[in-house]
Amino acid sequence: MTWFPVFLLLYALGTGATLLAVPYRQIGKYYFSFHSTVLLILVATAILVGRPWIGLGQGTAYMRVVAGLSMLYAALVLVQNVVVRAAEADLRPDALILPVSAGAVFIIMAAFGWTAYGTGTALLLTLHLLSAAMVLGTSLIAMSTGHWYLANAQLSFDILVRLCRMFVVAIGIKSVIVAIYAISRFEDYWRLEDFYKLVMGVRIAAGIFLAVVLALMSLSCAKRHANQSATGILYVAVVFVLIGETISLYLTLGMQRPI
């Protein structure tokens, strides 16, 4: 599976995991139906592009299991979509937990399967991928949740504040991991062509520095109950996160230059 379908699966994983922090009874069925549909589109596109079923018949036994897990994750996201649409007053939490658990296991096992340089490197790559999922998911869910306050002014601002805090924590963890890669591989990266230096610079500037600033600004606005300002800031944050994580996944999995 190439880097792009993995990027889509990470986006779906982070989005699904962040939904666990949103109270179903307060925000309503339509909110979860909408985001479950987004998850299904992301996962379906990833499966069609990545074609993991090919991996079921070739490669090592370990990577066959990884391919199977990606398909299991997709199947559970489909089940989640059905369960959410059938739900009424309440939603079974395992409908959200099971797909997220399967997706996380897939990413963890895939990271160890893609790494041939020891447990430490594999563990760092695992954290790199999972933190990417959380940065993508928390920024998107926080931004879309801001819109729900326009339709339902009675919503508690605790929801938006919680999501913005999760975004701040996620981008903070991602910043630490990027710093570890940048410091440990500084000499190798310094010898790269100017084009790749520029690409890495954009990844760090847009996907880390500016994203951190915007995450803190959105949290400040959410605490002051300025949901329109927070949502506008989160719009921009989502764009910068998309730019940063797309470049990151391309360099990490496509070029073997994690950053």
- Residue 91, amino acid: L
Residue 39 and residue 10: Cα distance in Å, rounded? 10
Q: How far apart are CA 177 and CA 179, in angstroms?
A: 5
Q: Is the dihedral of CA 102, 105, 107, 113 positive or negative?
A: negative
Per-residue confidence (pLDDT) for residue 67, from 0 to 100: 93
Per-residue pLDDT, averaged over 241-251, amounts to 96
Residues in contact with 35: Cβ distance below 8 Å, sequence separation at least 6, in sequence order: 15, 19, 141, 144
Alpha helices in 87-156 (DSSP H): 94-114, 119-151
Q: CA-to-CA distance for 124 and 120, rounded, in angstroms?
A: 6
Contact 10, 129 (CB under 8 A): yes
pLDDT (mean) for 185-207? 89
Please state the rounded mean pLDDT for residues 173-195. 90
Q: What is the mean pLDDT of the chain?
A: 93
CB 143 within 8 A of CB 238: yes
Nearest by Cα to 210 from 242, 163, 162: 242
Helix (H) or strand (E) holding 247: helix 227-249
Give the integer Cα–Cα distance in Å for 179 and 214: 19
The model's confidence at residue 87, banded by pLDDT at 50, 70 and 90, is confident
Q: How confident is the model at residue 189 (pLDDT cuts 50, 70, 90)?
A: confident
Interatomic CA distance for residues 39 and 139, integer angstroms: 15
**Is the pLDDT confidence value at 206 over 90?**
yes
Say whether pLDDT at 217 is over 90.
yes
Helix 227-249 to helix 157-184 angle (10° resolution) is: 30
Asked whether 21 and 166 are in contact (CB, 8 A), the reply is: yes
CA angle 204, 4, 33 (to 5 degrees): 100
**Tokens standing for residue 215:** 């995450």
pLDDT band at 223 (very low <50, low <70, confident <90, very high): very high
Report pLDDT digits (tens) over 20-75. Answer: 999 998 898 899 999 999 999 999 999 999 999 998 888 889 999 999 999 999 99
In the prediction, which pLDDT does 118 show? 75
**pLDDT tens-place string over residues 111-169:** 998 886 778 899 999 999 999 999 999 999 999 999 888 877 788 899 999 999 999 99
User: Residue 116 burial (CB < 10 Å; 0-12/13-18/19+)?
Assistant: exposed
Neighbouring C-beta atoms of residue 194, cutoff 10 Å:
7
